[in-house]
Amino acid sequence: MKGKTKILIVENDTPVAMMMVNVLTQAQCDVLVAPSGTKGLELARENKFDLIVLAVDLPDISGLEICNELKQSHLTRHIPIVFLSGRPCEEERRRSLELGAVDYIVKPFDTADFALRLLSYVKTGNDPIAVAESTET
């Protein structure tokens, strides 16, 4: 990997967003935070990110809608998206993966595991099979 990993966090829960910023900054990542879906879409279109962490429930636009929009654009479809949700909903998890997300993480989560999972998607080029194989070793 060249340079620092650049991650966008789209999360309206400030304490959760700040916790993620702290964890990812310690992992030597550059992190930007968008407190709304509208701002997240704007930042994703204007910057080159290695990964996007996307809350499912946002005040203005559903994270699922944002993912669908990003995966439809040739400028952003290659960016791995990891969903973050406050509820373990199997239907929602399945839908997020169908839209092209690489993972669905339920809060609360272990911060060390969180950082390792995110960085593994960047290192493997977001191939879920390669990620699974790299974590089995």
The H helix count followed by the E strand count for the chain is: 6, 5
Give me the half-sphere count of Cα atoms (radius 13 Å) on the Cβ side of residue 38.
2
Read off the pLDDT of residues 5-36 as tens digits, 9 standing for 90 and up: 999 999 999 999 999 999 999 999 999 999 99
CATH label of the domain that carries residue 64: 3.40.50.2300
How many structural domains are present in the chain? 1
- pTM to 2 decimals? 0.85
Q: What is the mean pLDDT of the chain?
A: 87
Domain that holds residue 125: 5-136
